[in-house]
Structure 1
Amino acid sequence: MVSYMGAVLYGFVGIVVAVMALLVAFQEKLVYVPVLPGLTKSYQVTPARLRLLYEDVWLRSSDGVRLHAWFIKVLPESRGPTVLFFQENAGSILTMIHHYKYMSSVFGSFSLKRLQCNVFMLSYRGYGESDGYPSQHGITKDAQAALDHLSQRTDIDTSRIVVFGRSLGGAVGALLTKNNPDKVNALILENTFTSIMDLAGVLLPFLKWFIGGTGSKAPKLLNFLVRSPWSTIDIVGQIKQPILFLSGLQDEMVPPFHMQMLYDKAAAHNRECIFVDFPNGMHMDTWLVGGDHYWRTIQQFLEKHVPEIKEHESSHDAKVIPFLLEIL
């Protein structure tokens, strides 16, 4: 009996050691997938091929890593909202461009063109044309560099910057939004996970016995080894800006209840939260199957929370504020 229990104990210890070795050695490769196997990192299609006015932007993160981004102006003189888009894993910044092009031709009035949005699309370090290797610490710096660049531009309305993140990009965008309440006006999250710890048990079920997020009942024995926790569930409750949650209920990568948990956590502290689900939406095609409803939802969110300030309104404020200062 003793030898049997000893064998079980040794077996358990062996599994724990093996999992620890896996996490230490390969976790970045498991968390970050810059490109699907067999494909090249470099982009074969540029916005120019899609007849879009764009600018190649090269940035330096605060630790010196060289980053690539595309800045697309829907119209040359557009002063509408600027969407800072953070991509999903194994996707590319071309995803949003194809969204724009497809929706312009098929759904016309509810495309990004109809929304009059500029779009700034960043490739994280290690993704696309950007240098370096991905990590949570590094990507957080990359996102900040992108926002700082936008905040210093003179050809956009810097008071109307909206962060939009899909999947991994939602985790990136949520953290950036929380850290920059004075620069980001609103946040859009699509098919985002609660945390890497929670997602690990979904993608690799045996890990749920060793790793778990804030709301998990798992022992969490190996949480300390996770270098990129991306615990969005702990971030959304601290965000004061309006948040739009877009959830595909057929998501095969991130269980839809993750989005519901994020919304519940955020809405408990923030009255400006909106949750919209799309019954047939999967992880990568919610924007497509959502169709007209998807774009109308975004349009209404932007109109409510990042409205255009008319010239006569600003001039009126310019007259009223000095008057109030006088009487005070």
Structure 2
Amino acid sequence: MLRMTLLTIIGALALFYIGVCGLLYFMQERLMFFPSPVATYPTHPAIETVSLDSGDVQLAGWVINQDSQGPLLVYFGGNGEELSQSTSHFVSLPATSILINYRGYGDSEGKPGQSGMFADAEAVVDFAQARYGKDRPLLVFGRSLGSVVAVHAAAEKHPNALILMSPFRSAADVATAQYRWIPASTIRWMLRHPFDVTTAISELPSRMLIIRTDDDRVIPPRETDLFIDRLTTPPEIARYLGEHNEPLSRPDIWRALQAFVANTQSH
């Protein structure tokens, strides 16, 4: 009787485990991407609406300070970040900033996914340089999931400098920290969008700014530490006190960004 009860419990736990793993596998896009329509169309005179083609989809977003004599800056946001809400922050930077929503976000067509987002990142950099000049210094800036997109773009397009906010090594490493009861090997097998920067790190520019916090509950701070440990050249680091979604609203972070961007002109 006891043996039957134990077998029943073990069987139920096994079914529960398989069910949860199946749910994570088939719903991973809903757990990883949070697209939303344009929240508000910017009206600031320094912000211009633009669109571009990436393969068979059209992407839409904004250019800020197009008449700036400073560097070009291309920004890739987090997985829940519709970029119209971020445009006003970039007006203060001494650069021409290009913010294009990921496919499926805002007015951009298509559905989000790693391969499409990586292709879009390259298309956005090509658009920026074709429209505003390849002779201008180029910075690539990525936040959270966008840090992986930015790393891919940097490895392919070789910018003068790279800015990463809450970077990590791979989606599997972050998921393993969040779902400790699922073996790392199982998580890696399940992920259709691995967002892994391991092979790209050696191709990154030596000039880099990392923006991070020790209070991040989305990207474990240890993951950011391990990412930094893999870099061949120590980056500049700007720390802030606060949680994952706070830095874009912090004046101290924007002062650090302004200084880093301004200094890029002389490198």
Q: TM-score of the superposition, structure 1-length normalised?
A: 0.73
The whole-number CA distance in structure 1 between the counterparts of 2:193 and 2:238 is 28
Partner of 1:307: 265
Shift of 1:223: 1.6
Partner of 2:161: 186
The whole-number CA distance in structure 2 between the counterparts of 1:7 and 1:159 is 67
Shift of 1:238: 4.2
- Partner SS, residue 3 of structure 1: helix
- The 1:171/1:211 distance shift into structure 2, 3 A limit, reads farther
Share of identical aligned residues, percent?
26
Q: Which runs of 5+ in 2 are unaligned?
A: none
The whole-number CA distance in structure 2 between the counterparts of 1:211 and 1:234 is 23
Are 2:11 and 1:34 aligned? Answer: no
The whole-number CA distance in structure 2 between the counterparts of 1:251 and 1:308 is 33
The whole-number CA distance in structure 2 between the counterparts of 1:90 and 1:133 is 14
Q: Is the 8 A contact 1:245 1:259 kept in 2?
A: no
- The 1:50/1:125 distance shift into structure 2, 3 A limit, reads same
Partner of 1:87: 77
Q: 2:256 aligns with which of 285, 297, 300?
A: 297
Partner of 2:191: 226
AA in 1 matched with 2:145: L
Q: Is the 8 A contact 1:239 1:270 kept in 2?
A: no
Shift of 1:12: 4.2
Task: Compare 13-22 and 131-140 and name the one that shifted more.
Answer: 13-22
Q: 1:258 aligns with which of 218, 223, 226?
A: 223
- Partner SS, residue 34 of structure 1: coil
Q: Is the 8 A contact 2:38 2:84 kept in 1?
A: no
Partner of 2:236: 274
- Partner SS, residue 128 of structure 2: helix
- Partner SS, residue 57 of structure 1: strand
Q: Which has the higher helix share?
A: 1
Shift of 1:146: 0.5
AA in 1 matched with 2:87: I
The whole-number CA distance in structure 2 between the counterparts of 1:57 and 1:185 is 24
The whole-number CA distance in structure 1 between the counterparts of 2:206 and 2:183 is 31
- Partner SS, residue 94 of structure 1: helix
Q: 1:288 aligns with which of 242, 246, 249?
A: 249
Q: TM-score of the superposition, structure 2-length normalised?
A: 0.88
The whole-number CA distance in structure 1 between the counterparts of 2:84 and 2:213 is 21
How many residue pairs get aligned? The number is 266
Q: Is the 8 A contact 1:83 1:162 kept in 2?
A: yes
RMSD: 2.4
AA in 2 matched with 1:131: E
The whole-number CA distance in structure 1 between the counterparts of 2:237 and 2:23 is 37
Q: Is the 8 A contact 1:177 1:187 kept in 2?
A: yes
